[in-house]
Chain A
Amino acid sequence: QITLKESGPTLVKPTQTLTLTCTFSGFSLTTSGEGVGWIRQPPGKALEWLALIYWDDDKRYSPSLKSRVTITKDTPKKQVVLTMTNMNPVDTATYYCAYRLGLDDPPFHHWGQGTLVTVSS
C-alpha cells in the first residue's frame, strides 16, 4: 500500500524559509520511473504544481518559483524534502506531495493528505 504524509511547520513568518518533509511508504523512489512531486493549493483556490524529483535524482521546477524552491530526496529515510525560501503571505496554502510511477511521465496516482502552511507575522 502506497502512502505519503506531509509534515512541517503550520505557521511561518514572512521572509522565513519553509521546509516540508514528505515521508512515504510502499515504494522506494529508487525504481526506474518513480517520481514524487509537490503541489500546493491556496485556500479556496486551484492547484499549483511546484516541483518533481525522479528516481535518478533528476529534478524539475516551476520556473516562477525556481529561484526559491529546492527539492531533494533521502531514499534510506523514505523522505522527499521541499525547501522554499523568502516566504510571503501569498504562499499560504495546503502543500501536497504526490507519487507517480512510469517511464512515460504519468500523472500523480497517489497523494498525501496535505499540510496547511500559513504565512503571517
Chain B
Amino acid sequence: DIVMTQSPDSLAVSLGERATINCKSSQSVLYSSNNKNYLAWYQQKPGQPPKLLIYWASSRESGVPDRFSGSGSGTDFTLTISSLQAEDVAVYYCHQHYKTPQSFGQGTKLEIK
C-alpha cells in the first residue's frame, strides 16, 4: 500500500502570509504512460465533506481561488496558499489515486496566527 505522509500536522500562519503544506508518498505516483501525477489535494472545513482543490498535482479545480497552487512530482508534493485568507482555515488532505487501495494523508490543520 502507498502511505501518504503530510507535514506539518498543524500550521499557524498570519493573514496575508504564505502557507505551505507538504505531502510525501511512500512510492512514486507518477504514471509514465501519461506523465500524470495521481495526487490530489482537498480542503475540509468542520462539518463539511472534503472539497477538491488540486488534481494531477498542479491543476486547479474550477472555482478554486488562484492563491491555491500545487507542485511536485514523483513522491514529493506541496500545496501552497500564497496569501492566507480567514476562510482558508481548514484541514487539508493529500490523496493518491494511483494504486488500489487509494490513500490519504493524515491531514494538516491550518489556523490563523
Contact = CB atoms under 8 A, between A and B. Distances in A.
A113 B49 contact: yes
Most buried by A among B55, B61, B105: B55
A77 interface: no
Contacts of A107: 38, 40, 52, 55, 95, 97
B61 A46 contact: no
Contact of B49 (A61, A106, A111): A111
Interface size range on B against A:
20 to 34
A47 interface: yes
Given A104-B36, A109-B61, A60 B52 contact: no
A104 B40 CA distance: 14
Interface in B55-111: 55-56, 61, 93, 95, 97-98, 100-107
Nearest to B40: A107
A64 interface: yes
A62 B98 CA distance: 13
Interface residues of A, number: 23
B102 A96 contact: no
Interface in B35-58: 36, 38, 40, 42, 48-52, 55-56
Interface of B: 1, 34, 36, 38, 40, 42, 48-52, 55-56, 61, 93, 95, 97-98, 100-107
Interface of A: 37, 46-49, 52, 60-64, 96, 98, 104-109, 111-114
Given A61-B100, A106-B55, 15 more contacts: A46-B107, A47-B42, A52-B102, A62-B100, A62-B101, A63-B1, A104-B34, A104-B36, A105-B38, A107-B97, A111-B49, A111-B50, A111-B51, A113-B49, A114-B49
5 contacts: A62-B101, A105-B38, A105-B98, A108-B50, A109-B55
